Amino acid sequence: MSLGGYPIVLTGEVATMSDTHGSSVVGFASAIPENYFRDWVARRFFRLKSNREGRVFRAPYGLSKVEAALLAHGYTRNDVIIADPYKLDRVIGPNTRVVGIYVMDPLGLSYGSGIVYWILKLADLPYSGLPYIAKSFLQVINHPAIKRHRDHLKVVVGGPAGWQITDTGKQRELGVDVVYEGEFEEDGPQLFDKLIKGEPAPERFVAHRPVPVDIIPTIATPSIGGMVEVTRGCGRGCQFCTPTLSGMIRSIPFEGHIDREIKLNIEVGGFEEITLHSEEFFRYGAKGIEPNPEKVLDLTVKAYKLVKSYGDNYELTTDFTTAAVVKYAPKMVKEVSEYMNEGGTWHFIEMGIETGSPRLLRMLMAGKALPYKPEQYPDVVEEAIGILNDNHWVVVGTMILNLPGETDDDVIKSLELLDRISKLRVLTFPLPFIPMGALRKRDFTILDRLLEDPLRREFILKAFIKSFEEAKAFSSLITRKVENFIVKRLIGYIAVSSFNLVLKRYKEKLGSLIEQYGEFRERIKEEVNRASVSIRLHDDFNEQ
């Protein structure tokens, strides 16, 4: 590269770009507010590995895909760099025309930031300033190197949280020229061509079409967490969910794609664990809602054999599932788990439980339960978590409060589901509703207002107590991928101490809340039960 800088510089929030000492789970600490992170502490915690020039060795998977698409389009590594946000002054110069910033939570409005706000508020711990991930975005967008060359470059923001900038009306105030939404491979390179030439572009660019899998290139920069994408889209149609916008599930071939990214992440990235990323892994190869067990097992076996060819200590895992597919195909789950959780090894797997209310499910996410009916969903969730636990998966199950149209009856249903799964190995994280997908700009959650409501406060406390009890029990699983032994011990100690502190305070608060509002809750529960009986009688009458 010349001293004039790279034409295209790709980067991201410091907290998003960091591999947090090799553990993506530990990276959730990025939602902690800045009053807990002095800059010198943050710089050591949110560590980045890059060469002297500033090119990173590992990047967020989405940013690696953007780089891959630009390289496939004809740009070279002399044109494009994924840069260390701490070293932007080394890569931005007179030749720079585009700075692309990948964002996960630029303004602190995501699920993670909402959860951490509740965690600290309920534990009577101080909260001031921005979530650190949002602070680190502002550090990038206001970097002196960008300001110095602002007259000849365009700032493009993309990633899962670009909506925060457009929906809050802060795009011009922040100095963002274009917010890119949607899949990048087909439309993104053409947009960058225009920007490189100095042609005008819309402030908000939306890629309307899901990209065919045969034009998705393989990454050239290893991905944080050893992540390898195996599907895109979902097809269940939840109205609040971004993957819904990518349409029906599309599966990426193993040969020539998944295998190449596994090799890159191991041989260049130095990872000993590969994560097969999907919105619903157990539907790999499916044409519709029902899974294709043969395809899932074939992918698992091929990936397992490839990973193990590097040594017995190398492992394979996945990240997301739904309850419905696990309940529908328990034999497939068992067979896959024998490879991924070999020898009784435990792994985390995420599941969007969302609600215990069949009414809300039917109204906002009927596809979540398919091929089952919304009325069966609480049973499906309970059975699915049990199946996963039997196969050594700890479920990270999210449940959303303040969905549009939510009533006290719906919260009671979620509380009842919480009680049903209380004996299972599941971290039940309560989420504030975030206006993504088809429900953007509607019903944004006021976090404090939910805490002030006794019923919802009870749900949040109970969900957190269960989450932290399980997190404490599996604290070694949280830190197992931290590469430095001393850092691993330190993070583990801080984590367990924090879990003990908040659990003590939450249990005290739950006890006083139930004592104060117990009669209120029982009255609501009786009303809900009466309403349920009336609905069942009405349905039975109609069926007859």
Q: Name the residue ranges covered by the structural domains of the chain.
A: 8-206
- Strands, E, within 243-392: which ranges? 250-251, 273-277, 315-318, 320-321, 347-354
What's the pLDDT at 520?
59
Q: What are phi and psi of 142, to 5 degrees?
A: -105, 15
Q: How far apart are CA 125 and CA 472, in angstroms?
A: 19
Strand 250-251 and strand 231-232: the pairing is: antiparallel
Main-chain dihedrals φ then ψ at residue 325, nearest 5 degrees: -70, -35
In eight-state DSSP terms, residue 271 is: -
Q: Where are the beta strands (DSSP E) in 123-267?
A: 154-158, 178-181, 204-206, 227-229, 231-232, 250-251
Coil, strand or helix at 489: helix
Q: Are 455 and 524 within 8 A, CB to CB?
A: yes
Q: What are the beta bridge partners of residue 320?
A: 350
Q: In what order do the strands lie in the sheet with 320-321?
A: 320-321, 347-354, 393-401, 426-432
What is the pLDDT, as a whole number, of residue 541?
Answer: 36
233 and 249 Cβ atoms separated by less than 8 Å: yes
Closest by Cα among 41, 56, 57, 46 to 24: 46
Q: What is the pTM of this model?
A: 0.89
Contact 228, 277 (CB under 8 A): yes
Round the CA-based radius of gyration of the chain to a whole number and report it.
23
The closest alpha carbon to 249, from 226, 264, 230, belongs to 230
Q: Which of helix, strand or coil describes residue 7?
A: coil
List the pLDDT tens digit at each of the 544 positions of the chain: 457 899 999 999 998 998 875 666 666 788 889 888 878 888 888 888 999 999 999 999 999 999 999 999 999 999 999 999 999 999 999 999 999 999 999 998 888 888 999 999 999 999 888 899 999 999 999 999 999 999 999 999 999 899 889 888 899 999 999 999 999 999 999 999 999 999 988 988 888 778 999 999 999 999 999 999 999 988 776 766 665 455 678 999 999 999 999 999 999 999 999 999 999 999 999 988 899 999 999 999 999 999 999 999 999 999 999 999 999 999 999 999 999 999 999 999 999 999 999 999 999 988 899 999 999 999 999 999 999 999 999 999 999 999 999 999 999 999 999 999 999 999 999 988 875 443 344 334 578 888 889 999 999 999 999 999 999 988 888 777 777 777 778 777 778 888 888 899 999 998 888 878 766 566 556 655 655 544 444 444 344 4
Give 210's contacts (C-beta < 8 A, 6+ positions apart). 183, 232, 233, 246, 247, 250
pLDDT at 110: 85
What's the CA gap between 533 and 366, in Å, rounded?
A: 22
pLDDT score of 533: 47
How far apart are the C-alpha atoms of 84 and 280, rounded to whole Å?
31
Beta partners for 131? 33
Q: At what angle do helices 377-390 and 408-420 cross, to 10 degrees?
A: 30
Give the H or E element holding residue 158.
Answer: strand 154-158
Q: What residue type is assigned to position 436 of the chain?
A: M
Predicted confidence at residue 531, as pLDDT, reads 52
What pLDDT sits at residue 539?
A: 46
Strands (E), 364-483: 393-401, 426-432
